A and B are shown apart, each in its own frame.
Chain A
Amino acid sequence: MAGSRLSIAAPVLLLLAACGSDPGAAPTSPPCDAACQDSVALRAVREMTKLAYNLLLQGNPVGPQSANSPCPLGGNVSIVGEASSNADQGATVVSLVYDFDGCAHLEVDDEPGETYQMTLTGVLTQDGTLAAQPSATTALVMGSDSMTMNGTVYDPPLAYGEEGCALELGQNGNDLSGLMCGREVGVDLSGPN
């Protein structure tokens, strides 16, 4: 309800916000180095699994899972495995396998470092707890023997490509870290939900 009201007022607010913003030039962003690019790619992997899960599984009955769907910008993704939930705790326990087949997604964000266009091909396993509500904490282990990642990461726009990359990742709350293509990577996933 409140959201509806605010969405109606949004044009006005937008105008006002724009009028009140700093007219000065935006500060120049530092270039995104290799570690920075990896972190954006890592974010892409996690968010694309999240998108696939939410599009395919959320709301399903607990138990064995098997579903597939086209990706927003082409390709396909399928998920198989087991999942159960504890609604009181607001947690879902998963043991899933994601199979990305040229699955492409574009994420545009106000934060340049959270903007990317990525295509994934490969299989990724995901085991642990997904938080559906703030009363739960996400605790996941994810891995892949071979993941191919191609796309563009920002900012500035930089081509990103990795072939047959191994992933060993863990997520605790908002902290996602691990090894990607043998390199240590990490990203903080805090942000508006």
Chain B
Amino acid sequence: MRRRARRLALAFASATSLPVESLAERAIARAEPSDAARPPAETVTKPKLRGTADVPYPEGARGDARVVLTLEVRADGTVRSATADEPNEPFSSHASAAALDFVFEPATRGGRPVAAKIRLELRFIEPAAPEPQPETAEGVTTPAAAPGTAALPAGTPAAKAAAHQPIEVVVTGVRPELSRTASLTRAEVREIPGTFGDPFRAVEALPGVTPIVSGLPFFFVRGAPPGNVGYFLDGVRVPLLFHVGAGPSVVNPALIDRVDFYPAGYPARFGRVSGGVVAGETLPPAAEFHGEYNVRVFDVGAMVEAPFADGRATAMLGGRYSYTGYLLTALSQTTLLDYWDYQGRVSYELGPRDRVELFSFGSYDYVGERTPTETITLFGTEFHRLDLRYDHRFAQRGKLRTAFTLGLDRSRVQQQDRHVRMRTAGARNEFEYRLSDSALFRAGTDLSLETYDIELGTTDLPPSTARVAESFPSRTDTALGLRGDVVLRVTPRFEVTPGARIDLYGSDGVTALAIDPRVSWRAQASEKWAVLGVFGVAHQPPAFVVPLPGFQPGGIPGGLQRALQGSLGIELALGKNMTATATAFQNAFFSMSDPLGAVPPLPMGCPPGTYPGNSIGGDLGEQPDEAAPCGERFPPGTLGPDRSGGGGQGADSRGNRRTAEAFEVRTMGSGRGIELYFKRRLTERLGGFVSYTFSRSTRSYERRSYPAAFDRTHVANAALAYDLGRGFRAGVRGMFYTGVPKAPDATDPSTRLPAFFRLDVRFEKRFQLGKKSHLSLVAEWLNATLSKEAVTTTCTLSGCEAEMIGPVTIPSVGVEGAF
């Protein structure tokens, strides 16, 4: 019997037979919801189908069928892969094969073609009768069907059912790295209470991250200390990412496209850091005028970008200024606090494949104290970077970036004449080329020269402090790096990225060579879950306690730090924009410089019964943390310090000596644990995440092994954000972690300080002021529970107790907007 004509209909997304373009547009709108954090700079265009997508009805098949495909559309518009969500043979195989021949106008971001992932619904219909002319309720006609096929009939039961299918178009534009545990877009981060819309601040909520003190943006990553965590912005190393204290990041969030977090085995392009990597990527230049602004209780920020030269060029200017100095002046006549940052970028398209860009950014922080005679600098830092880049694209197969960077870092400490200044000049190449559909080659070189001019005025410092200061000589450091890796799709379900980097360091006449092999892999076990593994070696010169501009010890004392990093995890796609991961990790650290964790905790003061020295002498007055009588005396046969009366006057102290010793020693260490992460996209009506880390971090020194000073067994974060409708959105976030190891105390058998819990809240009312403009009123409160945190143990003659600080709390009310 002659089979009647069978028809196939192609439908993007939901609407009843809307044209392809309209449907895709709607899908984009759902996948990339309009929110405050999505400035026009991030404007994306959807992939647009070239021609028709009619697919012949499979021979031998019967009945109607629906197949949902996930297509990876390359930047050149061809389809890289097509995978059916569920098997429905012979339709799914037929649809997948046919979709590989589709050709699209590629998606674009900021005018540049980028790869995209599309979920696409194909409906095969076995028509039993002549079909009516397809027409939507809006009167829009579907594309004409090819001979032998027919368009999807509007109003048919099948077409109506399609309206409820969740179809997405996700413009990726970047290749996901296997060693990345999280990538935070600003759209999501701004929904996390306590981050103040700052993608960098959200890093503290990720698994594997252990905060030092709540609200303070310095953290341990899988057991590695804060000084070993590297910060990058567009591939440019920056000394710090956050303003003073609990301040915001030093880059205006409006400029940030995303922040990637690599706790281990990072891609070869990241080097000279042995802890973790926090890498921010800026938005590409936008083709239309746009901007963002915010005014908060403690600062004001803005960013504006505009095209010129007939759209071939763009200019961006952004920055933030804190007026906390004025506020504090009103509150306290002795304290000074100030910070600001700036960003500027000019981009010019030399041709369809070439672009030159000049990007500048910098930051300034100052904390001072007024005295009767002068203003004392307690803490003052600044850094500036100027990055000139030339980008070239090799058709659709690769790209090359050549960049030159100039920089200046400066920190001032304790009185006006003490400072460190570092001037840097660097050059780097970043090359990427697709060798085949299954192999992507990446390579690069980078060179940096860093000149340090340091004046720490050691003549009136106590000896041990002066000894530490001498670790920072004036000098010129060099570093040369060479790296490469290959992203290999061995099979459609198995991808591996082997790579390595080689770094040659020179500092104060000392050289050191580091070879860092790394590999990461991913096995897609099924459509739902995958297994990921990472292993890497990482080296780094000795580091200061926390990242501070210019504070880099010279001469590579004690050699390079080395870390072996490994992890194995499972990634589960739960559907409905929910994902879950479970990762086990093990890090080993060698020759580690970790002043914060180098020695076991000791109490402040003397525990009862040890040495009640304060009751004998009594000519020292208060002793905040010196605790000299606790059995430690100056060596016999030498002269002790003159510590009579008040003031320091160059007298060495137990605290100074311990700090100096901690700075100079090298330890071994380890970090191991399990991380769990469950997330539903925060931009959903109800979104949130749960992040949990169970870990143990240890140090070994002089045949002793002990928990690291900031080892926290349990660290958990959970956040919920809910769209209340009518522009109202609310969120809450809880943070919990166990206390750090406690100093031995005969009066208290516990081994840890008390745990800490805090709650952050956020509330937003958004007013849409037009198609592209909006205004939001935002109230946010970090540590709304006013929780205090135990940081150490203080002992007096009457006993020992946990010393609490805080509450570190930041309430904020502000206005945000975009146009």
Question: Contacting B638 at CB < 8 Å: which of A9, A51, A85?
Answer: A85
* Chain B CB within 8 A of A171 CB: yes
Question: Contacting B633 at CB < 8 Å: which of A4, A90, A154?
Answer: A90
In whole angstroms, what is the CA distance A69 to B215 when docked? Answer: 44
B372 touches A55 (CB 8 A): no
The B600-656 residues at the A interface (CB cut-off 8 A) are 601-604, 613-614, 616-626, 628-629, 633-653, 655
The B220-273 residues at the A interface (CB cut-off 8 A) are 244-246
The A3-22 residues at the B interface (CB cut-off 8 A) are 3-6, 8-19, 21
| Chain B residue contacts of A115, Cβ below 8 A | 371-373
The distance from the CB of B807 to the nearest CB of chain A, in whole angstroms, is 8
| Chain B residue contacts of A189, Cβ below 8 A | 619, 621, 644-647
| Chain B residue contacts of A5, Cβ below 8 A | 212-213, 596, 709, 791-792
The 0/1 profile, CB within 8 Å of B marked 1, for residues 63-74 of chain A is: 001000110100
Query: Which A residue's beta carbon lies closest to that of B244?
Result: A11
| Chain A residue contacts of B709, Cβ below 8 A | 1, 5
Question: Contacting A54 at CB < 8 Å: which of B595, B596, B649?
Answer: B649
Query: Which B residue's beta carbon lies closest to that of A19?
Result: B331
The distance from the CB of A97 to the nearest CB of chain B, in whole angstroms, is 15
Query: Which B residue's beta carbon lies closest to that of A174?
Result: B619
* Chain A CB within 8 A of B599 CB: yes
| Chain B residue contacts of A155, Cβ below 8 A | 372
| Chain B residue contacts of A140, Cβ below 8 A | 644
B642 touches A12 (CB 8 A): no
* With contact pairs A46-B645, A193-B620 given, residues A54 and B650 touching in the complex (Cβ less than 8 Å): yes
In whole angstroms, what is the CA distance A138 to B459 when docked? Answer: 25
B652 touches A58 (CB 8 A): yes
The interface residues of chain A, by DSSP majority, are classed as mixed
The 0/1 profile, CB within 8 Å of B marked 1, for residues 83-99 of chain A is: 10101101110000000
In whole angstroms, what is the CA distance A135 to B242 when docked? Answer: 44
| Chain B residue contacts of A58, Cβ below 8 A | 463, 634, 639-642, 650-652
A132 touches B372 (CB 8 A): no
The distance from the CB of A114 to the nearest CB of chain B, in whole angstroms, is 7
Query: Which A residue's beta carbon lies closest to that of B216?
Result: A12
* Chain B CB within 8 A of A137 CB: yes
In whole angstroms, what is the CA distance A8 to B24 when docked? Answer: 51
A90 touches B640 (CB 8 A): yes
B330 touches A23 (CB 8 A): yes
* Chain A CB within 8 A of B328 CB: yes
A193 touches B653 (CB 8 A): yes
* Chain B CB within 8 A of A164 CB: no
Query: Which B residue's beta carbon lies closest to that of A88?
Result: B633
| Chain A residue contacts of B118, Cβ below 8 A | none
B645 touches A90 (CB 8 A): no
* Chain B CB within 8 A of A30 CB: no
A54 touches B642 (CB 8 A): yes
Which among B197-205, B332-340, B514-522 touches the partner chain? B332-340
* Chain A CB within 8 A of B62 CB: no
In whole angstroms, what is the CA distance A57 to B462 when docked? Answer: 11
The interface residues of chain B, by DSSP majority, are classed as loop
In whole angstroms, what is the CA distance A66 to B811 when docked? Answer: 59
B335 touches A14 (CB 8 A): yes
* Chain B CB within 8 A of A26 CB: yes
The distance from the CB of A22 to the nearest CB of chain B, in whole angstroms, is 8
The distance from the CB of A144 to the nearest CB of chain B, in whole angstroms, is 18
Of A4, A50, A130, most buried by chain B (CB within 10 Å of CB) is A4
The distance from the CB of A41 to the nearest CB of chain B, in whole angstroms, is 15
B337 touches A59 (CB 8 A): no
B634 touches A132 (CB 8 A): yes
In whole angstroms, what is the CA distance A20 to B595 when docked? Answer: 31
In whole angstroms, what is the CA distance A12 to B216 when docked? Answer: 8
Which among B151-159, B278-286, B374-382 touches the partner chain? B374-382
* Chain A CB within 8 A of B5 CB: no
| Chain A residue contacts of B330, Cβ below 8 A | 23
* Chain B CB within 8 A of A182 CB: no
* Chain B CB within 8 A of A33 CB: no
A70 touches B372 (CB 8 A): no
* Chain A CB within 8 A of B658 CB: yes
| Chain B residue contacts of A15, Cβ below 8 A | 245-246, 324, 328, 335, 337
In whole angstroms, what is the CA distance A100 to B546 when docked? Answer: 40
B617 touches A133 (CB 8 A): yes
A92 touches B646 (CB 8 A): no
B617 touches A136 (CB 8 A): yes
The 0/1 profile, CB within 8 Å of B marked 1, for residues 22-38 of chain A is: 01011000000000000
Give the 4 A-B CB pairs with smallest separation, nearest first: A191-B646, A132-B640, A189-B645, A54-B650
A sample of 4 more A-B contacts (CB under 8 A), given A9-B216, A90-B613, is A2-B625, A5-B213, A48-B649, A134-B628
Enumerate chain A interface residues (CB-CB to B < 8 A).
1-6, 8-19, 21, 23, 25-26, 46-48, 50-51, 53-55, 57-62, 65, 69-70, 72, 83, 85, 87-88, 90-92, 105-110, 112, 114-115, 117, 130-138, 140, 154-157, 171, 173-174, 176, 189-193
Q: List 28 A–B pairs whose Cβ atoms lie within 8 Å, in order of A's numbering.
A: A2-B604, A8-B213, A12-B805, A15-B246, A15-B328, A16-B808, A18-B332, A25-B333, A54-B650, A54-B651, A58-B634, A59-B652, A87-B640, A92-B639, A108-B415, A117-B373, A132-B643, A134-B620, A135-B616, A138-B619, A173-B617, A173-B644, A174-B618, A174-B645, A191-B645, A191-B646, A192-B622, A193-B626
